[in-house]
Amino acid sequence: MRAVKGTATNSKAIERQTVKSISIDSRTVREGEVFFALRGERFDAHDFIPEAISNGASMVVAKREWWDQKGSTSIYDLCVITVEDTLKALGDFAKYYRSLFDLKVVGITGANGKTTAKDMTASVLSEKFRVKKSIGNYNNLFGLPLSILQINGSDQVGIFEMGMSRPGEVARLTQIGHPDIGVILNVGPVHLEFMQSVEKVAEAKFEMLQNLPEGALALLNGDDPYCLDMVARWKGKAMTFGSAASCDFRALEVHSNSSGYPSFTFNNLVELKLSVLGNHNIHNALAASAVGTLLGLTPQEIKRGVERFAGTPMRMQKVSVGGLTILNDSYNANPTSMKNALELLSQMKNKGKKVAVLGDMLELGEETRVYHQEIGYLAAKADLDILVTVGELGGEIAASAAGAELRVESFSRKEEVVDFLCAELSPGDILLVKASRAIGLEEVVQGVESQFEKKRD
């Protein structure tokens, strides 16, 4: 109760209740869990407090305003802790809970690659430590506390993503996670609907450094000019990773094979052959290797951890079915990751056609159409045979690519895309699928996979 700065409405009930864990979903809350009634843009969990209690919640954390208006008129045979802000209370409780454990924490933020870098770092550190990492991409003010609350006494290292869509969020997440090492992967055009400019995105990422605990280390991308500016401004301890000669952790002798898998020599110590596609993953591997080095892993332990990591679902995930190669990068998209995906597709060698299905990139603000047009220009120059676009903004990509020496098709519905692809694709072809999360292009991947499975049978 002190951790969330709350007031108990039924203090006697606390004595007879056992708290096992935390829940924010009234549908799945289990007996003995504390239910935090959070408010989001489209929901208010206070409406579901009776359901949470019916499902076994042993305690409820609710807004004081709700209790004054509605809660106090009801009869609850359990303790309701009232607070000014339930989301802040959840973060405060996670911050307190994190302080109970003597473990190293790595916080990772960036415009691109957070989940992949987190998972790759976990793969590396698992060579030596018992590791707890963020659940999926739980990287916001809801998800980070829930991930931290999964820590137990056997864990030695925690690796947590810290995302943002608005100013102030990275600062708060850093305060909650209290990382010993803060990693900034890159800065780019993301969430511009709320951030207005890439410079403001950089300022939001800099919040991590400004809120690191005393004695913590900042680890930044030394090939990113925005990150280098942060290093120059930061008064604490900082190190860099990248290809530049000035970096503390370097990628040397960089190569990529015809299948798109990169390799490099890490700090003249060991060759790392990545099992994930694309040169953009070199920086993710460097970050993971740098963290491993800082926490005492040997070059061979780092090599095993990096090379064992085979990727994260829907992040440039390679799937082969019936002779067709699918690059499922449908989890999310922004201008930088779109460019990386097209570069990878151009680099890969195959006997058949190269086809890209590209959809809307969301939250790009006033320059949305310009960014989509730029992707169209890049697609026109790429080693590509067919460009398929989905959605209104996807149409901007198609319009900009028109006139190039490639076939361009544009659709409004995903079902139409699946039908077109199944008629056009053959064994030996490569298919890239990419768009923002809300577009749901994994349905296109699933549809094509299903049809090619049937052809194989």
Closest CA to 62 of 43, 29, 84, 31: 84
Using one digit for the tens of pLDDT, what is the confidence trace for 114-166?
Answer: 999 999 999 999 999 999 999 988 999 999 999 999 999 999 999 999 999 99
| Confidence grade of residue 369 (pLDDT, cut at 50, 70, 90) | very high
Closest CA to 117 of 173, 206, 185: 185
CATH numeric code, 317-456: 3.90.190.20
Domain boundaries, the chain: 7-85, 101-308, 317-456
Query: Class of the 101-308 domain?
Result: alpha beta
What is the predicted pLDDT for the residue at 142?
A: 93
Arithmetic mean of pLDDT, 396-425:
94
Radius of gyration in angstroms for the set of CA atoms belonging to the chain, rounded to a whole number:
24
Amino acid found at 322: G
Its CATH architecture, for the domain 7-85, is 3-Layer(aba) Sandwich (3.40)
pLDDT exceeds 80 at position 31: yes
Arithmetic mean of pLDDT, 27-54:
91
Closest CA to 378 of 360, 393, 397, 395: 397
Amino acid found at 210: Q
Closest CA to 430 of 304, 301, 328, 313: 328
pLDDT exceeds 60 at position 15: no
More confident residue, 68 or 332: 332
| Confidence grade of residue 1 (pLDDT, cut at 50, 70, 90) | low
Arithmetic mean of pLDDT, 317-338:
96
The mean of the pLDDT values for the chain is 94
Using one digit for the tens of pLDDT, what is the confidence trace for 161-207?
Answer: 999 999 999 999 999 999 999 999 999 999 988 998 999 999 999 99
Give the C-alpha separation, 269 to 240, whole Å: 17
What is the predicted pLDDT for the residue at 76?
A: 64
Give the C-alpha separation, 254 to 432, whole Å: 24
Using one digit for the tens of pLDDT, what is the confidence trace for 247-306?
Answer: 999 999 999 999 999 999 999 999 999 999 999 999 999 999 999 999 999 999 999 999
Share of the chain above pLDDT 90, in %: 84
Give the C-alpha separation, 252 to 266, whole Å: 6
CB 382 within 8 A of CB 415: no
Using one digit for the tens of pLDDT, what is the confidence trace for 211-259?
Answer: 999 999 999 999 999 999 999 999 999 999 999 999 999 999 999 999 9
Give the C-alpha separation, 26 to 258, whole Å: 50
Arithmetic mean of pLDDT, 34-54:
91
- pTM of the complete model beyond 0.85: yes
